[in-house]
Amino acid sequence: MKQGVKPQAVAILGGFSILCFLAVHRLAGASDWPDVAGQGFCVVAYLIGLLSCWRAANLYPKGSPVGLGWLALGGNCFLSIFRHLALNPIFAGVFGTKEHVYLASQTIQLPALICVLVGMIAIWWGIYRLKLGFRVGWLDWAGVACSAAIIAWAFRNNLSLSHSGQGIVGVLQPVSLGFLIAIGGVGFLFHGLASQMGGGQLAAVMRWIAVYALLRSGLTLSEAWRDLYSLPWWLVFYSVPWIFAFGAAYSCWLVDTVRRGIGNEFQPGWDTSGLTR
């Protein structure tokens, strides 16, 4: 994995995984096999994401906020692998009842979301602190404020596991939702930063991470209506890990390309997080 997984390969694997899920869904109907396929491919996506995050972190100078951010995002991938294994029907017998599966999922998800939030803030700050004229506009703050308003609305309409037999699950889910909204808010800041870059490959990486954050938040907020839009909801659910894996692989490719382009002139103290000093 010296060169990392190419973004094109991640895109092809992600598309293949969705096609497999659709094929199994059509053939197996209401059985557990669509979930087996979908959750299994999510594990593969987060494994690729984990390897890409580790490589991305190593491409930045030691102590770089961006490098530390990718390490934190790698922690999310590591925990998410176990979460999707827990949600896979093949391993249902390990946890016993469905309530125990929900408990395992929510217990793993909370620290994973903390890793996402810490990682995104570190990456955003690592680029913003370069003082290249980036600024946080009122539209970005409006997006964060809208996210905060949405969470209040979501609480009023009850959460999907608020009446779970496992009382702790009813506590973990609202806390996780709070972190998801915070992640969505930082996603708006990522989008604002990418827009100010005026395009380019680094802006594309920022946008992929923002899309991942916003979709992951939106999935939880829309979970109460999952049964009404079952297939579209699950398609997005199983696509989100691949969106992150693609963004992480793209970041590796970008920084590695810059470092090889700099060649012998690259200095250990060079901060490639902004592709400039």
Single out the residue of 13, 10, 41, 12 nearest to residue 25, CA to CA.
Answer: 41
| DSSP assignments along 37-94, one per residue | HHHHHHHHHHHHHHHHHHHHHHHSPTT-HHHHHHHHHHHHHHHHHHHHHHHSGGGHHH
In the prediction, which pLDDT does 265 show? 39
**Is the pLDDT at 167 greater than 50, yes or no?**
yes
Higher confidence at residue 138 or residue 119? 119
Contact 252, 56 (CB under 8 A): yes
**Domain boundary assignment for the chain:** 7-264
**Is the pLDDT at 262 greater than 60, yes or no?**
no
Q: Assign 248 a pLDDT band (cuts: 50, 70, 90).
A: very high
Which two structure tokens, joined as six digits, stand for 111?
A: 């620290």
Higher confidence at residue 42 or residue 229? 42
Which two structure tokens, joined as six digits, stand for 171?
A: 């506590």
pLDDT in tens, 229-243: 678 888 999 999 999
Percent of the chain residues past pLDDT 90, beyond the cut: 26
pLDDT in tens, 130-152: 755 456 665 666 666 666 666 65
Calculate mean pLDDT across residues 62-76.
92
In the prediction, which pLDDT does 97 show? 67
Collapsing DSSP to helix, strand or coil, 271 comes out as: coil
What span, in angstroms and rounded, lies between the C-alpha atoms of 204 and 104? 34
Single out the residue of 211, 217, 277 nearest to residue 250, CA to CA.
Answer: 211
Higher confidence at residue 31 or residue 277? 31
In the prediction, which pLDDT does 199 show? 66
In the prediction, which pLDDT does 148 show? 62
- Checking 33-39 for CB contacts under 8 A at 24+ apart, the result is 34/234, 35/87, 35/88, 35/89, 36/88, 36/89, 36/90, 38/234, 38/237, 38/238, 39/84, 39/85, 39/87, 39/88, 39/89
Mean predicted lDDT score pLDDT of the chain: 77
Calculate mean pLDDT across residues 187-201.
75
What span, in angstroms and rounded, lies between the C-alpha atoms of 146 and 135? 19
For residue 257, count other CB atoms closer than 10 A to its CB: 11
